Amino acid sequence: MALARAFHVVVSSTRRALTLSSLPPRTSSSFLSSSSPSSSGFSSSASDYSAEVDEINAKFAEAREEIDVAMDSKETVYFNEEAQSARDAVTLVLDKYNGLLDRLPEADKGTLQRSMGLKMEQLKAELEQLNS
């Protein structure tokens, strides 16, 4: 039993490393509209927000990977642990997104919602699929 768990952890860790390392680098500007005054899409203090957007994007990729690992472990003894890890990762991403959204000036909220809102809804839907 311990050997099976160790194998599962190694396979899961390797899959995560391969998936995350194969992702192209993302920048906040690729997710933000260039139609607003600053080059990043935010009208004020763009550098303050772009680092947070980058962090949210990285955590989003990690959360999706956690969901994928949990889905792969359905019907196994590891499912509950993997599913809880996925739930925690999704909660972290949504908390960071909503926290940033709450701190943004009104002029920038729409930009963030247009650039990341659908991704957050996708994350919620994938978690709901995991929970069903």
Prediction pTM value: 0.65
Average confidence (pLDDT) over 64-91 = 95
Can you give the residue ranges of every domain in the chain? 2-26+48-131
pLDDT score of 13 more than 70: no
Which backbone phi and psi does 31 adopt, to 5 degrees?
A: -105, 0
CA angle 64, 58, 65 (to 5 degrees): 20
* Per-position DSSP letters for 52-77, written without gaps between them: HHHHHHHHHHHHHHHHHHHHHTTTST
What is the pLDDT, as a whole number, of residue 47? 60
Contact 127, 86 (CB under 8 A): yes
Average pLDDT over residues 39-52: 64
Question: Using CA atoms, how far apart are residues 115 and 97, in angstroms rounded to an integer?
Answer: 11
Within 10 angstroms of residue 49's Cβ, the number of other Cβ atoms is 23
pLDDT for position 132: 84
How would residue 41 be classed by pLDDT, with cut points 50, 70 and 90?
Answer: low
Q: Given this model, what pLDDT does residue 32 score?
A: 42
pLDDT at site 107? 83
- pLDDT above 80 (res 20): no
Quote the pLDDT of residue 18: 43
